[in-house]
Structure 1
Amino acid sequence: MELGSAVIIERHLRRATPEDTARLRQLLQGGRYVHRHLDWRTPIDWLGHQPFWLLLNGERVDAALACPPDPPGVAWVRLFACSEWERPAEAWHALFPKVWETLPHQNVLAAIALRPWFAHLLERERFTLYQHVVTLWRSLNDPPFEDGNVERVGVMIRPMVIEDLEAVASIDASAFEWLWRNSAADVYRSWQQAAYASVALVADQIVGFQFSTLSPTNAHLARLAVHPSWQRRGVGQALLNDVIHHFRSFRVAQLTVNTQQDNQASLALYQKAGFRLTGEDYLVYLYAN
Structure 2
Amino acid sequence: MRTLARPATRADRTAILQLVRGHQRTQLALDWWSLDEWLDAPTAWVVERMGQIVAFWLGVQVDSPVAWLRGAAVADGEDPVALFEQLWPHFARALAHQGAEQVVGMAYGEWLEPVYQAVGFTRQTVVITLRKEDWRIPEIPAIPIHIRRATLADIPRIAEVDRQAFEPMWWYGPTILTRAWHQVPHFIVAEEEGEIIGYAFTDLYGMHGHIVRLAVHPAHQGRTIGARLLAESLRYLIDLGAYPITLNTQIENRTSQALYRRFGFRPTGQEVSIWGCRLTGGEGP
Q: TM-score scaled to structure 2, two decimals?
A: 0.89
Q: Which residue of 1 aligns with 2:282?
A: none
Gaps of 5+ in 1: 1-7
Q: 1:180 aligns with which of 151, 163, 170?
A: 170
State yes or no: 1:67 paired with 2:29.
Answer: no
State yes or no: 1:130 paired with 2:124.
Answer: yes
Tell me the SS of whatever aligns to 1:48.
coil
Equivalent position amino acid for 1:118 in 2: L
Tell me the SS of whatever aligns to 1:247.
helix
Distance of aligned partners of 1:44 and 1:119 in 2 relative to their CA distance in 1, 3 Å threshold: farther
Report the identity percentage: 28
Aligned residues: 277
Deviations 1:99-152 (Å, cap 9, x if unpaired)? 12333176111111111121233234432111111111112x33211355xxx5
Deviations 1:172-200 (Å, cap 9, x if unpaired)? 11111111001211111111221211111
Aligned partners of 2:172 and 2:113: how far apart in 1?
24
CA deviation after TM superposition for structure 1 residue 60, in Å: 3.1
Aligned partners of 1:215 and 1:70: how far apart in 2?
24
Moved over 4 A (4+): none
Superposed CA RMSD:
2.1
Equivalent position amino acid for 2:63 in 1: P
State yes or no: 1:230 paired with 2:215.
Answer: no
Tell me the SS of whatever aligns to 2:60.
coil
Aligned partners of 2:51 and 2:201: how far apart in 1?
40
Q: Which residue of 2 aligns with 1:287?
A: 277
Tell me the SS of whatever aligns to 2:18.
helix
Equivalent position amino acid for 1:40 in 2: W
Gaps of 5+ in 2: 279-284
Q: 2:23 aligns with which of 8, 18, 31?
A: 31
Q: 2:247 aligns with which of 252, 257, 263?
A: 257
Tell me the SS of whatever aligns to 2:270.
strand
1:191-202 superposed matches below 5 A: 191-202=181-192
Aligned partners of 1:118 and 1:219: how far apart in 2?
28
Deviations 1:221-255 (Å, cap 9, x if unpaired)? 11111111111112111111111111111111221
Tell me the SS of whatever aligns to 1:146.
coil
Tell me the SS of whatever aligns to 2:178.
helix
CA deviation after TM superposition for structure 1 residue 59, in Å: 4.0
Tell me the SS of whatever aligns to 1:103.
helix
Equivalent position amino acid for 2:71 in 1: L
Q: TM-score scaled to structure 1, two decimals?
A: 0.88
Q: Which residue of 1 aligns with 2:48?
A: 56
Aligned partners of 1:83 and 1:43: how far apart in 2?
18
Indicate if the aligned counterparts of 1:147 and 1:272 stay in contact, CA closer than 8 A.
no
CA deviation after TM superposition for structure 1 residue 23, in Å: 2.6
